[in-house]
C-alpha cells in the first residue's frame, strides 16, 4: 500500500530528517531543564575525558554513557510530551509512563557513575 503523503527521497529525505532532529533537540533544550543541565554537564565531562583517560578505549567507555543520558532524556521528554498532549487529567497509566521514563533517565545517570568510577578509581 502506497502512502498518501508525498515523502522525500534520497538526500532530500536525509536533509528533512536532520532538520526535524535539530528541531527536536532545540525544543528539548528550550523546554526541559534536566536536558539543559545534562547538556552543560556533558560540555564539562566530555573534554575532561581526554585529560583523565589513558587510552582510546577508556575515552569511548567514558563518553558513551554520557551520550546515552542525553538520548534517554530526549526519549523521556518525548514520552512526557505525548502524555501531556492526551490530557491534563490524572490517569494512573499516564503517571506510570512518566515514572518509567524518569526511571530510564535515572538508570542512565547511574551508568555514568558506575562506568566513571570503575575506570577512574
**What is the C-alpha separation between 78 and 21, in angstroms, rounded?**
12
Active-site residue, 73 included: yes
The catalytic position among 58, 73, 80, 89 is 73
**What is the C-alpha separation between 120 and 104, in angstroms, rounded?**
24
**What is the C-alpha separation between 66 and 109, in angstroms, rounded?**
8
CA nearest to 112, candidates 79, 67, 66, 59:
66
Active site residues: 73
Amino acid at each position: 500500500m502506497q502512502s498518501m503523503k508525498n515523502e522525500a527521497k534520497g538526500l532530500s529525505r536525509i536533509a528533512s530528517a536532520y532538520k526535524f532532529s535539530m528541531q527536536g533537540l532545540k525544543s528539548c533544550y528550550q523546554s526541559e531543564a534536566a536536558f539543559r543541565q545534562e547538556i552543560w554537564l556533558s560540555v564539562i565531562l566530555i573534554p575532561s575525558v581526554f585529560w583523565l583517560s589513558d587510552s582510546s578505549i577508556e575515552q569511548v567507555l567514558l563518553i558513551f554513557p554520557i551520550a546515552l543520558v542525553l538520548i534517554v532524556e530526549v526519549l523521556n521528554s518525548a514520552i512526557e510530551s505525548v502524555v501531556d498532549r492526551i490530557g491534563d487529567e490524572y490517569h494512573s497509566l499516564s503517571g506510570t509512563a512518566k515514572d518509567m521514563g524518569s526511571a530510564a533517565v535515572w538508570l542512565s545517570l547511574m551508568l555514568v557513575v558506575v562506568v566513571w568510577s570503575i575506570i577512574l578509581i
